[in-house]
């Protein structure tokens, strides 16, 4: 099972009880590319999307997705933490700089205090930007669900990201999106540490559509709200994958935003 963060450098494997997890974050030369089974987004149709350029504590270069929730805050996955992070807003092709781009340094990272690197429980992190983003047609914020908004299985949602398009496929530079269904908890029984209370089981196992390396931290949009954050999936990219359930963390998010 694999987190969906992309990093340059040697791959690092972690053991989830009986499962061997390949951290999406540390796959060899896994630059952010495409979602599997999706299509290229219309440029700037997801103005909330953030591309995270990460320098790890070991000095490796990596990338994640994220999304703007306030002019000075981006929400992403906790396993996307690094020694330094630069956020690119207003991007479509992350290799072709445009006038729409806004690059912001992250001055403080707020990973959830109970984030567990072994189980990926509480895989959520807030990033405080050094300078507020300017809201434009290409850069905007994404609303979050309330604490009581427990999105149920069966809902069809969308996720966008710069992750790979296949297990062995090369990286793509443009933002991709795919429609994914929220599954019943039993569809994720292969994941020993899955907990329906604060995680989402996402992606029909009979489809080839899924998130993969490079998609970590990207939002799951359900009826215009960010209900989930890409956390991890299987090493072979077979759905379903696990997303962090945002509504469960609204009190913590609100506390950080209020203090900062």
Q: Active-site residues: which are they? A: 79, 123, 216
- pLDDT for residue 97 is more than 50: yes
* Maximum distance among all Cα pairs of the chain, rounded to whole angstroms: 48
pLDDT tens-digit readout, 141-164: 999 999 999 999 999 999 998 876
Structure tokens that stand for 107 in this block = 């001055």
Selection from 94, 46, 65 nearest residue 221 by Cα: 46
Give the separation between CA 53 and CA 65, rounded to whole angstroms. Answer: 9
Give the separation between CA 181 and CA 190, rounded to whole angstroms. Answer: 18
Give the separation between CA 51 and CA 227, rounded to whole angstroms. Answer: 19
pLDDT (0 to 100) of residue 89: 98
Mean pLDDT value of segment 165-182 = 76
Structure tokens that stand for 243 in this block = 């997303």
What domains does the chain contain, in order, with CATH numbers?
49-141+250-259 (2.40.10.10), 143-247 (2.40.10.10)
**DSSP letter assigned to residue 169:** P
């Amino acid at each position: 099972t694999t987190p969906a963060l992309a990093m340059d450098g040697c791959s690092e494997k972690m053991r989830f009880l009986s499962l061997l997890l390949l951290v999406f974050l540390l796959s060899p030369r896994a630059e952010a590319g495409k979602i599997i089974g999706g299509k290229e987004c219309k440029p700037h149709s997801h103005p909330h999307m953030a591309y995270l350029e990460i320098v790890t504590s070991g000095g490796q270069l990596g990338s994640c997705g994220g999304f703007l929730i306030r002019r000075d805050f981006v929400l992403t996955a906790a396993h996307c933490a690094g020694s330094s992070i630069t956020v690119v807003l207003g991007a479509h092709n992350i290799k072709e700089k445009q006038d729409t781009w806004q690059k912001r340094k992250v001055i403080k990272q707020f990973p959830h205090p109970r984030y567990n690197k072994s189980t990926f429980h509480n895989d959520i992190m807030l990033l405080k930007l050094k300078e507020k983003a300017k809201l434009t047609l290409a850069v905007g914020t994404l609303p979050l669900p309330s604490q009581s908004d427990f999105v149920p299985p069966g809902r069809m949602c969308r996720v966008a990201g710069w992750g790979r398009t296949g297990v062995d496929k090369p990286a793509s530079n443009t933002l991709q999106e795919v429609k994914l269904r929220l599954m019943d908890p039993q569809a994720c029984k292969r994941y020993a540490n899955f907990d329906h209370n604060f995680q989402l089981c996402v992606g029909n196992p009979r489809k080839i559509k899924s998130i993969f390396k490079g998609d970590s931290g990207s939002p799951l949009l359900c009826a215009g709200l960010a209900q989930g954050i890409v956390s991890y999936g299987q090493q072979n990219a077979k759905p379903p994958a696990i997303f962090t359930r945002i509504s469960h963390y609204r009190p913590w998010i609100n506390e950080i935003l209020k203090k900062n």
